[in-house]
A = this chain, B = another copy of it.
Amino acid sequence: MNDDGRRAWAYLSRVAEPPCGPLVALIDLVGAPEAAEMVRRREFPEGFEAVADATTGRAAADRAAADLEHVAHLGGRLVTPDDDEWPEYRFQPMAARIPPEAPHHEDEVRELRPVALWVIGEGRIDELLERSVAMVGTRAPSSYGERVTDDFAGDLSAEGFTIVSGGAYGIDGAAHRAALAAEGRTIAFVAGGLDRPYPAGHAGLFRRIAESGVVVSEYPPGTVPGRHRFLNRNRIVGTATGGVVVVEAGFRSGTRNTATWAGRRGVPVCAVPGPVTAATSVTCHQLIRDGARLVSRSSEVIEEVGRIGELALELEVPERPTDGLEGPALRVHDALPARSGLPVSEIASIAGLPARAVMMQLAVLETKGLIRRDGALWRLAN
């Protein structure tokens, strides 16, 4: 791509407030340079009146060259659909996952896709997103929520997953840090310009993330994070990964919004349960009631998100010698008293079984070492 081309993308990335499906549609139709020209000249093909509306406020101000320079100065870059690094497949619907009855318009799909992404960091965003999972939640978690985030993010990093989150305090920060601690890679999708680290207290964390992963924004430099931008950023977190895990989230949580976006693309949503008495788990429980998958271990997340065939291992539990006994065998076993012995006829009466069935089961139980014969009597082995 030449410099003019990249400037066209930079211009388009600022000229409309995302998400702007109509603008994405126009770029798909005529390419970025031509789309930029149309927006500047206020001349649009028929059917693209929505682009005119969406770009009126900012069309006249062209800061593309300055934005590119600014971000280059920060050590970052603009990644566009014309670049190899663009993770196109992450912005397409996961057809297999979307229920066939769901409304599914091209316009809606275009709304999922950013125009371009401002990126800083050593990782390649397409590679990082290939095996990735978003972990999100409240800014004010309980110590339980922090611990679970730590465990899950550490485990998933060790399994080669990129941990994706929003860079906020609380669950987001815990997820990023656990990934780094496990020497995994992580992505922070932020809701303002790359020159405006938010929260400011996470500036150092963002630098560490960028050493192996990336910090990514849909917004050009200088953009201040605002509430609608956080909601909009959630759309990228919810749709750009292989799955979303909500660890803890109270009422009014933005994570509900993240989950809704995920559902629109067919991305699996998992939620971690907690005590029903804890406000921090309210949204998790509601999500599960609404169809999200309850996850209690990281392997269950992998089962939802991972490649086909990565099924959660059955929990291993210690065996007891009487395990697997059922029906007549269990009845005969239970008929034997704790300390004394009984003849077959009495066992038959207690167990309510024919004598021949009792004898068969006694033989089985003896072979297993659970009972022993003592003259004409049978007793428990221990």
Of all chain B residues, the one with the shortest Cβ separation from A346 is B57
Report if A315-B277 is in contact (Cβ < 8 Å); known contacts: A56-B348, A56-B354, A355-B56. no
In the assembled complex, which residues on chain B have CB atoms less than 8 Å from the CB atom of A289? 293-294, 300
In the assembled complex, which residues on chain B have CB atoms less than 8 Å from the CB atom of A272? 276
Count of chain A residues with Cβ under 8 Å from any Cβ of B?
A: 54
Report if A285-B277 is in contact (Cβ < 8 Å); known contacts: A57-B353, A251-B317. no
Contact status B277-A228, CB under 8 Å:
no
Q: How many copies does the complex hold?
A: 2
Contact status B357-A53, CB under 8 Å:
yes
In the assembled complex, which residues on chain B have CB atoms less than 8 Å from the CB atom of A252? 317
A54 at the interface (CB under 8 A from B): yes
Interface-forming stretch among A2-10, A93-101, A203-211, A328-336? A328-336
Contact status B352-A17, CB under 8 Å:
yes
Q: Complex formed: what's the CA distance from A273 to B293 in Å?
A: 13
Q: Complex formed: what's the CA distance from A251 to B354 in Å?
A: 34
Q: How far is the CB of A152 from chain B (nearest CB, A)?
A: 9
A78 at the interface (CB under 8 A from B): no
Within the complex, which residue of B144, B277, B353 is in contact with A277, where a contact is CB–CB below 8 Å? Answer: B144
Q: How far is the CB of A284 from chain B (nearest CB, A)?
A: 8
A309 at the interface (CB under 8 A from B): no
Within the complex, which residue of B53, B297, B352 is in contact with A16, where a contact is CB–CB below 8 Å? Answer: B352
Contact with B along A34-77 (1 / 0, CB 8 A): 00000000000000000001111110010000000000000000
Contact with B along A243-282 (1 / 0, CB 8 A): 0000000011000000000000000000011111100011
Interface centre among A315, A322, A353 (most CB of B within 10 A): A353
Report if A294-B277 is in contact (Cβ < 8 Å); known contacts: A226-B334, A349-B61. no
Q: Complex formed: what's the CA distance from A97 to B264 in Å?
A: 30
Q: Complex formed: what's the CA distance from A229 to B322 in Å?
A: 15
- Near B by CB (< 8 A), chain A positions 171-227 give 226-227
Report if A276-B251 is in contact (Cβ < 8 Å); known contacts: A226-B335, A351-B57. no
- Near B by CB (< 8 A), chain A positions 307-358 give 315, 317, 322, 330-331, 333-335, 348-355, 357-358
Report if A355-B57 is in contact (Cβ < 8 Å); known contacts: A294-B289, A330-B228, A334-B226. yes
Q: How far is the CB of A313 from chain B (nearest CB, A)?
A: 14
A129 at the interface (CB under 8 A from B): no
Within the complex, which residue of B61, B330, B349 is in contact with A58, where a contact is CB–CB below 8 Å? Answer: B349
Within the complex, which residue of B58, B276, B293 is in contact with A352, where a contact is CB–CB below 8 Å? Answer: B58
Of all chain B residues, the one with the shortest Cβ separation from A312 is B289
Of all chain B residues, the one with the shortest Cβ separation from A337 is B224
Q: Complex formed: what's the CA distance from A122 to B355 in Å?
A: 41
Contact status B58-A228, CB under 8 Å:
no
14 contacts across the A-B interface (CB closer than 8 A): A15-B352, A53-B357, A54-B353, A56-B354, A57-B348, A57-B352, A57-B353, A57-B354, A148-B276, A273-B281, A273-B294, A282-B296, A289-B294, A294-B294
A interface with B by C-beta (< 8 Å): 15-17, 53-58, 61, 144, 147-148, 226-229, 251-252, 272-277, 281-282, 285, 288-289, 293-297, 300, 315, 317, 322, 330-331, 333-335, 348-355, 357-358
6 new A-B contacts, CB < 8 A, other than A17-B353, A272-B276, are A17-B351, A53-B354, A55-B352, A57-B358, A227-B333, A228-B331
